Each structure stands twice: as C-alpha cells, then as structure tokens.
C-alpha cells in the first residue's frame, strides 16, 4: 500500500495535476492532504474539487480556516489577506462549509497528519527547528507524523534526542519517532520551484520525497488574469 502525502496545494491546479500523474505512475493508491488546499494561487475551486474526488483524509490549514470563516484578517500578511478575500468570493457556501468542517489532526492507519504542529495545531506555529519539533513529539502518539505549513521539506527524528535534516528517502526504523514535512505541492519555498510531495510505502516502511516539474507559466497567467498580487505569481518561478 502506497500513500501520496500532499501538502500545501494552495490553489495551484497545474502543480496538483502534475503531482497526481506522477503519483499514479509510482503505484500510489491512497492519498492524504495536509491542508492549505486554497490560498495564494488562482484555482481554489478546481483544487478543492479535485482533492474531494480523491476521497481522502484531509486536515485543516490556516488558509482553509480563514477562507471558511468571515473573520477580519488582522495580523495576516497583506498579500495573503488579499488572496483570502478573493478566495472567499470564489468558493460556494457549501465549499466553505467543507473547509470549515475539517479537523486539525487526523490519524490515518498507523500515522498522523497535521498542518502545523501537534502541540497547538490551532495556533498555526511553524516547525523549523528541533525545539519546535520536540514540542510536537510530546503529543505524537504514532511513530510517524506528516506536517506542512512551512513549505520546506525537512525531517525530524527522535530517539533519545532530536535530529533534523534534509531528506530524499527515509527508511523508518522501529522504536524511533518521525515528524516529517512533505513540502508544498503548490508553492515550494526551499529554492526549488518544482512541486514537492512525499510517498509513504507502508509495507517497505519507506518515505520518499519527490519533485515534479509543472507548467507554472500557466499558473502565473491565471494569477495575473484574476488580478491577484504579482508577487504571488513571480515567486513560483523561484521556489520562494
């Protein structure tokens, strides 16, 4: 059984379809989504409906959360706030209700999925360092947890201490805990503009990070046509 772990799709339909095609080639039969289906890019409806077709476990991201409710966006980055307002106007009431019903944390078979952190998932903290990862490990009841939110693929491993590193393939070792960022499908921020996602082979107990080229020029054109901020489009070419 092979899962594809899809994080931070962010309304990038071209990246999502490229990733799904790649996953199918690799024999993936199940999917999970780490949240932030919408926000930033210009295809929220297409991405949301495509994820719903996968009929897979999904957790709530901060963008999903703020697109689902009508609160004002004080404290949001101005560019992100612009797009949240626009995204709200694109989604139907039913689609917003779907996003608003998502839970923060989910157990899937033997592993856990969360958008931000396990210690305070509703606070949308970022896990970049060992101290932040250790706070999540304290609440992690499964050996393996996948998370998103930073858009930077990074693996934390806990034995008697926490270690961190970049990864491309991880063989899961019994008795250790793993807190793994699957990267971002729709807005990578690690300097590599290719879409990122992870496969997890349950039988082999192996995790693999994949990068997939996609037609970001079309995504950029849609962003410009929708009147969304230029910076949202230009960053896709840089992976920042």
Q: Enumerate binding residues for Zn ion (CB under 5 A).
A: 8, 36
Least distance (Å) between residue 195 CB and Zn ion:
13
**Contact yes or no for 15/219 (Cβ under 8 A):** yes
Least distance (Å) between residue 203 CB and Zn ion:
30
Nearer to Zn ion, 36 or 132 (CB): 36
**Contact yes or no for 112/141 (Cβ under 8 A):** yes
Least distance (Å) between residue 29 CB and Zn ion:
26
Which of 70, 68, 69, 14 has its CA nearest to residue 38? 68
Least distance (Å) between residue 150 CB and Zn ion:
8
Range list of H helices, the chain: 13-25, 44-54, 62-68, 78-90, 93-100, 130-137, 216-225, 230-238
Which of 164, 181, 107 has its CA nearest to residue 141? 107
Angle value at C-alpha 148, between 90 and 58, nearest 5 degrees: 60
Nearer to Zn ion, 60 or 158 (CB): 60
Nearer to Zn ion, 19 or 172 (CB): 19
Least distance (Å) between residue 10 CB and Zn ion:
6
Distance CA 169, CA 187 (A): 21
The residue with its CB nearest to Zn ion is 36
Distance CA 88, CA 44 (A): 9
Residues 6+ apart with CB under 8 A from 92: none
Least distance (Å) between residue 23 CB and Zn ion:
20
Strands of the sheet containing 30-33, edge to edge, are 30-33, 2-6, 195-201, 206-212, 169-171
Nearer to Zn ion, 45 or 202 (CB): 45
């Amino acid at each position: 059984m092979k899962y594809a772990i899809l994080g931070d799709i962010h309304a990038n339909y071209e990246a999502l379809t490229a990733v799904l095609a790649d996953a199918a080639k690799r024999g993936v039969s199940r999917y999970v989504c780490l949240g932030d289906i919408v926000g930033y890019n210009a295809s929220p409806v297409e991405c949301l409906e495509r994820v719903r077709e996968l009929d897979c476990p999904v957790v709530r991201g901060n963008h999903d959360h703020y697109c689902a409710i009508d609160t004002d966006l004080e404290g949001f980055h101005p560019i992100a706030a612009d797009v949240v307002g626009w995204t709200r106007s694109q989604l139907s009431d039913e689609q917003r209700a779907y996003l608003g019903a998502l839970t923060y944390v989910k157990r899937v078979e033997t592993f856990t999925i969360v958008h931000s952190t396990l210690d305070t998932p509703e606070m949308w903290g970022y896990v970049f360092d060992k101290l932040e990862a250790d706070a999540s490990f304290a609440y992690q009841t499964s050996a393996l947890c996948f998370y998103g939110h930073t858009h930077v693929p990074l693996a934390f491993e806990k034995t008697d201490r926490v270690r961190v590193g970049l990864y491309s393939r991880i063989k899961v070792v019994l008795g250790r805990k793993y807190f793994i960022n699957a990267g971002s499908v729709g807005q990578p921020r690690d300097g590599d503009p290719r879409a990122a996602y992870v496969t997890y082979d349950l039988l082999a107990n192996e995790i693999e990070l994949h990068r997939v080229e996609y037609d970001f020029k079309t995504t950029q054109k849609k962003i410009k046509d929708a009147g969304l901020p230029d910076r949202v489009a230009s960053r896709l070419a840089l992976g920042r």
